[in-house]
Structure 1
Amino acid sequence: MTTASLIGNLCLGSAPDSWGIWFPQDEHQTPYARFLDELAEAGYKWLEIGPYGYLPTDPKVLAEEVGKRGLQVSGGTTFGALHRPGEWAEMLAHTRKIAELTAAAGAHHLVFIPTMYRDEKTGALTESPELTAPQWASFGSRASELGKILLDEYDVRLCLHPHADSHIQTQAEIERYLNESDSRYANLCLDTGHVAYGRGDNIDLIRRYGERIGYVHIKQMDPAILDQVHAENLSFGEAVKRGVCVEPPAGVPNPAEIVTELSTLDARLFVIVEQDLYPCAPEVPLPIAVRTREYLGSCGLSGTTRPGASA
């Protein structure tokens, strides 16, 4: 593929997930210093913070560790259960800490991942995969309330991330979330791989809900393993172990088509590489990260300029 012209409204970055990082601490994960070293070596300039506690949570230490490698932070990451009113206070307090760190790092986006209804390591169900009508109402209103707090107090925008084994997984669930939340405060982190995992249509979402897309994770899934997921009712953890997340351009959706469609939006967006690799050998991520950056660069994605903080 010949090198494409760089697309001005899109900025490429990566995340700890692409180094097999799912947890703040885990014996199977590479130390954060090696992740940062290899991220810079791979040619990326922007990174997402990842699970709170993996990278330093002291803003000064984080700034030093990131800055001395020529890196910058694109956004923060957190999990939460917006459909459980009894957990609101605790979740809000935790989210505030992450928003504070995100803002201190100079970033303006918080990727919010709904709590999964399966245990991440065992795959066992921890609650019903379906929300009730009252839970849906709580989800939409709480997302809007949280988004307003983050924007008003931290200048950080809430971008909810559809995720496998969560209640925002299928396209119908994504659309219901968007329709039941306030577009001023609650928007979408379009994760192309998780949309494909839930049998959704990324291009359709971009075309119909482009104004709600505030941030992007670019990811690919192996269609053969997706068929196994649906045939065998596999957990996402098991699917990852089988290799459902693949290096572009080997899977679905087509990254070049996604980049082309995103380039039509009237918004400046971070496009963050994620390839779920947990657990993986320490030597695995770096060569993949280099090849992925080079491939996405050939699609027109660059990491040299900073998008604005518009929703």
Structure 2
Amino acid sequence: MTYATDRLSPDKVKLGVCCTLWWNDDFPTIDAGISFDQAVSDMALAGFQGCSIGHKYPSDATELMAALNLRGLRVSEPWTSTYFTINNMRQKTIAAFEETLAHIKALGGTELVVAEFGASSHLLPVDVFANRPVFTDSQWDALTSGLDELGKIACSAGMKLSYHHHMGTGVMTRADIDRLMASTDPDLVHLLLDTGHMAFAGDDPLDLARAYADRIGHVHLKSIRPEVVRRVREEGRTFQESIELGVFTVPGDGAIDFRPILEVLATAQYEGWLVVEAEQDPNKAIPLEYAKKARAYLADVLGW
């Protein structure tokens, strides 16, 4: 098969890496004691151009910019959780989003990533599949209208908003994503394609990429280990246990073939971030080793 990944050139896409290789922001006990300075140095050493923001990062924008500039890194995205589907949280969600927007703008970033965590099971000590929320029509209306409002705020600030589908949430499966995409303004709300979360949920990330190629605004590249997915389903494991068991890994490892996915993005003339991500236990998976493995794989696929 001939691939067109040469069209995903360095002048069109940037390669980033999430700090979840070094520690976990959702579950602070998944940590090997790696400092912020070591993590961002590893990112630069592995050959990445940018990174997500995590809880160990300096909160002061000037201090953070200095540390990243020293290593030739940029911020690929911040994360903001939304809570439109639960009571009395709309204005608080919007206020938190605006605070994040101001911070990322001060850092020179242009991307904003959100996910709805109202009633999510992913942080709870429960079966991540059996207990994820299923939204009512009124909750869907609250979510999609809220996302459109956040999209307007982002656009007015010259920023782009992308929605992150996520395990254990009300927007987890392909059917959920289809409904969200159909119910939001395509000029305001883009899709964050997360290959690992889509495959873990039981759907095909390649089909998702094909369906929404022109609406993808941000990309998280991570793979899965199918034997761990099966165990999680059969044993009713939590999301935290899934991570600790090694359900996710980086491109170049695991079961997902990223070449056709990147071909779809190339054909759609995607421009933006390709961000390597794998929530792993750094006590078991040496972060720099896996970051370099992912970067070498992408170099082989992309040609740079």
The structural deviation recorded for 1:300 is: 0.1
Give the match's secondary structure for 2:89.
helix
With normalisation by structure 1, the TM-score equals 0.87
With normalisation by structure 2, the TM-score equals 0.89
Identity of matched residues, %: 26
Aligned partner of 1:43 in structure 2 is: 47
1:1-311 pair list within 5 angstroms: 5=6, 7-8=8-9, 9-23=12-26, 28=31, 29-50=33-54, 53-115=55-117, 117-118=120-121, 120=123, 122-123=125-126, 129-152=133-156, 154-277=157-280, 279-281=281-283, 284-300=286-302, 302=304
Q: Which amino acid aligns with 2:254?
A: G
Give the match's secondary structure for 1:55.
coil
Give the match's secondary structure for 1:266.
coil
Residues 255 and 144 (structure 1 numbering): CA distance in 2 closer, same or farther, change over 3 Å? Answer: same
Residues 291 and 270 (structure 1 numbering): CA distance in 2 closer, same or farther, change over 3 Å? Answer: same
CA distance in 2, matches of 1:245, 1:24: 15
Between stretches 80-89 and 124-133, larger displacement belongs to 124-133
Over the residues paired in the alignment, what is the CA RMSD in angstroms? Answer: 2.4
Gaps of 5+ in 2: none
Q: Which amino acid aligns with 1:182?
A: D
Q: Which amino acid aligns with 1:168?
A: V
Residues 128 and 177 (structure 1 numbering): CA distance in 2 closer, same or farther, change over 3 Å? Answer: same
Cα pair 1:189 1:215 within 8 Å, conserved: yes
Between stretches 57-66 and 232-241, larger displacement belongs to 232-241
Gaps of 5+ in 1: 303-311
Aligned partner of 1:308 in structure 2 is: none
CA distance in 2, matches of 1:117, 1:23: 12
Q: Which amino acid aligns with 2:109?
A: A
Between stretches 253-262 and 210-219, larger displacement belongs to 253-262
Cα pair 1:10 1:301 within 8 Å, conserved: no
CA distance in 1, matches of 2:228, 2:163: 25
The structural deviation recorded for 1:220 is: 0.4
CA distance in 2, matches of 1:98, 1:298: 35
The structural deviation recorded for 1:68 is: 1.0
CA distance in 1, matches of 2:48, 2:102: 24
Cα pair 2:122 2:132 within 8 Å, conserved: no
Aligned residues: 295
Give the match's secondary structure for 2:155.
helix
Give the match's secondary structure for 1:299.
helix
Cα pair 2:251 2:276 within 8 Å, conserved: no
Cα pair 1:187 1:213 within 8 Å, conserved: yes
CA distance in 1, matches of 2:163, 2:176: 12
Residues 106 and 54 (structure 1 numbering): CA distance in 2 closer, same or farther, change over 3 Å? Answer: same
The structural deviation recorded for 1:301 is: 6.5
Between stretches 85-94 and 116-125, larger displacement belongs to 116-125
